[in-house]
Amino acid sequence: MMERYFVIHDHDVGVAAVASRLFAQAQGLGNEKADCLATAISELARNIYKYAGSSGGDILINVELINGLPHIWAQARDNGPGIADCDQAMRDHFSTSGTLGLGLPGVRRIVDYFDLFSLPGKGTVVTIGMALPT
């Protein structure tokens, strides 16, 4: 049941967001939470498109157990330049590209589970989860 969305072109961002919302609803996530997941996926996909360049990346989405509870799990992966300081990147208003700097901190606020791993020069992996109703 795992789905995979490739992010190489600008339009892939919207495709991933819409598809993840439909996936979430099919798994029983309510509209508000499904919208939050789609917003998070949109931000992560936008980061892949923006920072990974032509190498792109992908987003995997599935239903998994996280801390023993069923979650919709998503992982955004790229082979871009990586993040030099993950702690700094998670601070509100920090940006290396002149944006508002609310993307990753905003994603962390609207999901139930968030993990960021990055190696400068190698890429970034962001894993998020939304609890499913039990």
Question: Do 77 and 60 meet the contact criterion of CB atoms below 8 Å apart?
Answer: yes
What letter represents residue 92's amino acid? D
Q: Kindly indicate the confidence band of residue 49, based on its pLDDT and cuts at 50, 70 and 90.
A: very high
Q: What is the phi/psi pair of residue 124, to 5°?
A: -135, 145
pLDDT mean over 7-19: 96
* Structural domain containing residue 37: 3-131
Angle at 71 between CA 116 and CA 6, to 5 degrees: 60
The enclosing domain of 111 has a CATH number of 3.30.565.10
- Which comes out higher in pLDDT, residue 84 or 12? 12
- Mean per-residue pLDDT over the chain, rounded: 88
Question: Do 114 and 64 meet the contact criterion of CB atoms below 8 Å apart?
Answer: no
Q: Name the strands in the sheet holding 69-78, side by side, starting at the edge strand that comes first in the sequence.
A: 3-7, 57-66, 69-78, 123-131, 113-119
pLDDT mean over 72-86: 87
pLDDT mean over 92-99: 57
Of 98, 97, 56, nearest to 80 (Cα)?
56
Of 130, 132, 104, nearest to 38 (Cα)?
130
The structural domain count of the chain equals 1
